[in-house]
Amino acid sequence: MGKIVFWGIIRTGILLPMIWITSGYIETKYWWTLVTLSVYGVIIHPAILQYKIFREENLPVVEDTLCSSCKHFDVTAVLCMKYDEHPTENYLPCGGSDWEPGDGEKRRI
Ligand code: SF4
Ligand 1 mutation pick, 61, 64, 67, max ligand atoms within 8 A of CB: 67
Q: Is 104 left (phi over 0), alpha (psi -120 to 50) or beta?
A: left
CA of 72 to the centre of ligand 1 (A): 6
Q: Is the CB of 14 under 6 A from ligand 1?
A: no
Position 102 confidence tier, pLDDT thresholds 50, 70, 90: confident
Half-sphere exposure of 66 (CA within 13 A, CB side): 11
**Based on the domain organization, do 27 and 56 belong to the same domain?**
yes
The 10s digit of each residue's pLDDT in 40-71 is: 999 999 999 999 999 998 899 988 899 989 99
Contact between 65 and 92 (Cβ < 8 Å): yes
**Based on the domain organization, do 17 and 57 belong to the same domain?**
yes
**Based on the domain organization, do 70 and 43 belong to the same domain?**
no
Count of CB atoms within 10 A of residue 23's CB?
Answer: 13
Evaluate if residue 107 carries a pLDDT over 80: no
Question: What average pLDDT score do residues 77-99 get?
Answer: 93
CA of 73 to the centre of ligand 1 (A): 6
CA of 83 to the centre of ligand 1 (A): 8
- Which residue has better confidence, 102 or 16? 16
Mean of all residue pLDDT scores within the chain = 90
- What's the CA gap between 99 and 54, in Å, rounded? 24
In the chain, how many domains are there? 2
Contact between 107 and 68 (Cβ < 8 Å): yes
**Based on the domain organization, do 47 and 88 belong to the same domain?**
no
Owning domain of residue 35: 2-63
Q: Is the CB of 102 under 6 A from ligand 1?
A: no
